[in-house]
Amino acid sequence: MLPFRFGLILLLTVFSCSCTQVHKVPKSAAPVSVVDGNEVFIVHSARIGQDYRIRVRTPAGYANKANKRFPVVIKIDGQWDFSLLTGAYNCLYYDGQIPETIFVGIDWNVSDAQVQALRARDLSPVALPSVPQSGQAKLFVEAIATEILPAVNNRYRTNGQEFLVGGSWGGLFGTYALMERPDVFDGALVIGSAYEGAEQPLQAQLNKLAAAPSLPGNRLYMGMGKLDPAAQSGLDYYEALKKAGIKGMQYKLDLLEGFGHSGMNIPGYGAGLRYMFARPSVSLPKHSLQKHAGVYAPLAGKGQAVKVQTASNNLQVVYGEEVIDLLALSEQQFYREGVFLNLTFEGDLLVAETFFGTTQYQRVKSNSP
């Protein structure tokens, strides 16, 4: 069981603002405004009787890719740190470590002076004696699953992948929501989560999932700063999670020196997003690699040819003097770790995608035996 340490959940918060990108929406959708480049609209929850402000940042290529659908990252406490989160995404996307993604922030459209009581109501799974109507996290989970996400999915081209991000009470909620509805949420990125006082419902969730069939690979990333007073409760939860042995659940804890409660958002968002969207590396037999070997020339007739060759257990691209090691997603798809370079082989056709665009190559010389 998770130990009870200090009684009530820590009332700790973080601060910040917003970020970019707009497109046309259906005429039947709720009225939309643009704030700092984000689309902003209201979704009313009949379950809770609350108007929630929704802010959305679509990826830069959204408008030009009418047939493409995108994963969704949902920021709890969207009034704080939305721009920090999307800024981390921008950097990771440039490095090819995260796909094009829609970011959604959810907040209560009230001042900071009013927000804490609403956070206690919606984000905590246990009632706090000092805060009336607190402890309704289960209801908020259902409001997101059945009211807010359908409104987002109706307005935007989403692909069904949905991840939560939250800090402090938002981290507690993200953890609780993922374990409560793993059928809805693919993962949760939680920073400085304040678990104290919620040990009983959290342990009940772990027990239930431990006895259930295997999950399809849901992920939980926990970021904690060693200077954070809430860090011990995070360590306690992590140990309980490991002990539960939930089949099909992936999880990671980063406990970093020198960071406190809010500062952990800076490294945590980057590391957490990478973990949420980490790509596998498939081990392929030599003959599967060898069939792609050869020299490929640009179909457009301009630019430098590239050579594809096999190494001991992977594929390499030789471009000029540079030799680039690739990892395999499948027999046809390969990527370079830490750099935006994705290669797809279709017979003698090679499609190379970089941050700056896509180039098609035709094999002009085969190295296959």
pLDDT digits (tens, 9 = 90+) for 57-101: 999 989 999 999 999 999 999 999 999 999 999 999 999 999 999
Asked if the model's pLDDT at residue 216 lies above 60, the reply is: yes
Segment 103-111 shows an average pLDDT of: 96
Widest Cα–Cα separation across the chain: 75
289 contacts 259 by C-beta, under 8 angstroms: no
pLDDT tops 50 at residue 24: no
Residue of higher predicted confidence among 24 and 102: 102
Res. 16: pLDDT tops 60:
no
pLDDT given at position 7:
32
**Collapsing DSSP states into helix, strand and coil, what is residue 274?**
helix
Three-state DSSP class for residue 236? helix
Angle of helix 199-210 relative to helix 169-180, nearest 10 degrees, comes to 30
Evaluate if residue 37 carries a pLDDT over 90.
no
pTM given for the model: 0.89
Query: Can you tell me the distance from the alpha carbon of 240 to that of 234, in angstroms, rounded to the nearest whole number?
Result: 10
Mean pLDDT of the chain: 90
- Looking at 9-18, 199-208, 235-244, 248-257, which range is the least confident one? 9-18
Beta bridge partners of 221: 189, 252
pLDDT at 368: 54
User: Which domains are assigned to the chain?
Assistant: 33-276 (3.40.50.1820), 286-366 (2.40.128.50)
AA identity, residue 309: Q
- Output the pLDDT for position 29: 58
Which residues are paired to 238 by β-bridges?
Answer: none
Instruction: Copy the structure tokens of residue 337.
Output: 């770790």
CA distance readout (Å), 297 to 9, 128, 349, 360, 362:
61, 66, 10, 8, 5
pLDDT above 70: percentage of residues in the chain = 91
Percent of the chain with pLDDT over 90: 83
**91 versus 128: which is more confidently predicted?**
91
The per-residue pLDDT for 260 is 97
Helices 231-244, 199-210: inter-axial angle, 10-degree rounding: 20
- 4: three-class secondary structure by DSSP: coil
pLDDT digits (tens, 9 = 90+) for 273-294: 999 999 999 999 999 999 999 9
